Amino acid sequence: MAIVYLNGEYLPADEARVSVLDRGFVFADGVYEVIPAYGGRLLRLEQHLQRLDNSLAGIRLANPLDRLQWGQVLEEIVKRNSENNGDLSIYLQVTRGAAKRDHVFPDEVKQTVFVMATPMSPVPDEQLENGIAAISHDDIRWRYCHIKSIALLPNTLMRQVAREAGAAEAILYRDDQVTEGAASNVFIVHNGRIITPRKDECLLPGITRDLILEIAADNGLDCEEADISMQMLREADEIWVTSSTKEILPVTHLDGQAVGNGKPGPVWRDMLDRYQQYKDKLRQGIAQ
């Protein structure tokens, strides 16, 4: 049985209980993080905790734990769920806690803190060999998409539209500009240059995204943060979607049309190799 952390306690998942008045349940009033752990080591912990701080500040909720305490809780959850030594995906969530239902914040807040670990399933070989299909979708979300809010209904609706179209992800656009995926960031390769949208309030500042930019800069690859119009997306030689759980996936069909030659591209292959090398270093404790 998976062991979870809830408000100071470690306990089996089926024994963890949260109040029905929790504002996370009633208002989706909370934020979250997803952190991969490879060989028991958390990827980019500092960056994830910094983004958590930013998300909490964005919804005006105090962080109930300091960096040291977060580090201890997350390490402990990794340890307690590592019996088969597989890679893990760590989910953490902080909500504004239980209170009488009222849109206005309660005077006294006792945050609910929840952490769980799930085995990280490797990306299927089929997706690495053939890539995935994606659809494009109008970005129907709110205007604070840089906050990693647990209010994910628009994202789940758009992912479901993708699923029903036989696709694995929805690539979102606002006013003809690509923002991100329903649960990922987006990169394109255009005339040999790797491009991803600039960070702003229209997209989540992905940790995987930033790591890819860092790897590109360290290796002198041609890479920039810039606007991507829908036309550029449709004319791209390669499209990738990136996230903590998907890593870097090549999109080989968009709205039923082949991307480039319809096969995963060479720039993606090279970047994925470099990303895997980075993970190997993390496993050996020589990267963070």
Catalytic residues: 32, 148, 180, 204
Binding string, 31-70, against ligand PDD, x = CB under 6 A?
Answer: ---x------------------------------------
Give the total of residues touching ligand PDD (CB under 6 A): 15
State the nearest-atom distance from the C-beta of 140 to ligand PDD, in Å.
13
Binding to ligand PDD by CB under 6 A, coded x per residue (else -) over 207-226, reads: xxx-----------------
Residue 71, token pair as written in the block:
């580090």
Amino acid present at 108? E
Segment interacting with ligand PDD, rule: CB under 6 A, options 20-28, 61-69, 189-197, 241-249 = 241-249
CB of 48 to ligand PDD, least distance (A): 7
Stretch in the footprint of ligand PDD (CB under 6 A) among 130-138, 182-190, 193-201, 228-236: 182-190
- To the nearest 10 degrees (0 to 180), the angle between helices 207-218 and 45-58 is 130
Q: Would you say 96 or 209 has its CB closer to ligand PDD?
A: 209
Q: How far is CA 31 from the centre of its chain?
A: 12
Between CA 260 and CA 252 the distance in angstroms is: 8
Distance CA 36, CA 30 (A): 20
Cα separation, 283 vs 25, in Å, equals 36
The yes or no reply on residue 245 touching ligand PDD (CB under 6 A) is: yes
Q: Which residues contact 244 (CB under 8 A, 6 or more apart)?
A: 34, 35, 36, 43, 89, 206, 207, 208
Minimum Å gap between C-beta 23 and ligand PDD is 20
CB of 36 to ligand PDD, least distance (A): 8
As measured in angstroms, the least distance from the Cβ of 275 to ligand PDD is 11
Helices and strands (DSSP H and E) totals, the chain: 8, 15
In contact, 97 and 112? CB cutoff 8 Å? yes
Binding marks (x or -) toward ligand PDD, 122..161, rule CB under 6 A? ---------------------------------x------
- Write out the binding residues for ligand PDD, residues 5-34 only, by CB under 6 A: 34
Closest CA to 268 of 251, 253, 255, 286: 251
Q: Considering only residues 111, 184, 196, 252, which one is a binding residue for ligand PDD as defined by CB under 6 A?
A: 184
Report if residue 244 touches ligand PDD, rule: CB under 6 A. Answer: yes
What gap in Å lies between CA 196 and CA 60, rounded to an integer? 29
Out of 183, 216, 239, 267, which residue is the one contacting ligand PDD (CB under 6 A)? Answer: 183
Minimum gap (Å) between residue 13 Cβ and ligand PDD:
18
Q: Is the dihedral of CA 120, 125, 127, 131 positive or negative?
A: positive
178, with CB counted inside 10 A (0-12, 13-18, 19+), is: buried
Binding residues for ligand PDD, rule: CB under 6 A, are 34, 155, 180, 183-185, 204, 206-209, 242-245
